[in-house]
């Protein structure tokens, strides 16, 4: 099973070559700001299973010590985040994956920081 993903302009593309295991919906303020939405959809994947077909436009921003958020420098689409304390793991942004299937496990993080009116 492999899944194709691309940013809004297509300058960043990758293939995920592993089944969707864990997906985390993060409601923290930082994730909301970084993604411009009510929460972030993070698809956890091993770096070795992500094959970038185009990544020249990817830039990283250290949003907090040891945490990096990657985005396409051409269109601004968030691509992934990674942490120094979890080498070999990417948190891919679910919105870039064309046909995201249901995950094996779905969890929510920082739900208490989310908007009260969001069910």
Give the CATH number for residue 106: 2.170.150.70
Enumerate the β-bridge partners of residue 5.
14, 97
Question: How many distinct structural domains can be found in the chain?
Answer: 1
Would 65 be classed as within a structural domain? Answer: yes
**Domain ranges, residue 78:** 3-113
> pLDDT tens digits for 1-24?
799 999 999 999 999 998 899 999
pTM of the model: 0.93
1-15, 71-85, 87-101, 105-119: the lowest-pLDDT one: 105-119
> Does residue 119 have a pLDDT over 80?
no
| CA terminus-to-terminus distance, the chain | 32
Residue 36 contacts by C-beta under 8 Å, 6 or more apart in sequence? Answer: none
């Amino acid at each position: 099973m492999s899944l194709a993903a691309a940013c809004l302009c297509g300058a960043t593309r990758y293939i995920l070559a592993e089944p969707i295991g864990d997906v985390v919906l993060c409601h923290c303020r930082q994730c909301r700001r970084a993604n411009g939405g009510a929460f972030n959809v993070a698809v956890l994947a091993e770096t070795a299973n992500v094959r970038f077909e185009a990544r020249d436009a990817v830039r990283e921003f250290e949003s907090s010590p040891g945490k990096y958020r990657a985005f396409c420098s051409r269109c601004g689409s968030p691509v992934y985040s990674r942490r120094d304390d979890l080498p070999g793991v990417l948190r891919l942004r679910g919105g870039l994956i064309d046909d995201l299937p249901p995950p094996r496990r779905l969890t929510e993080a920082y739900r208490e920081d989310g908007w009260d009116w969001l069910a």
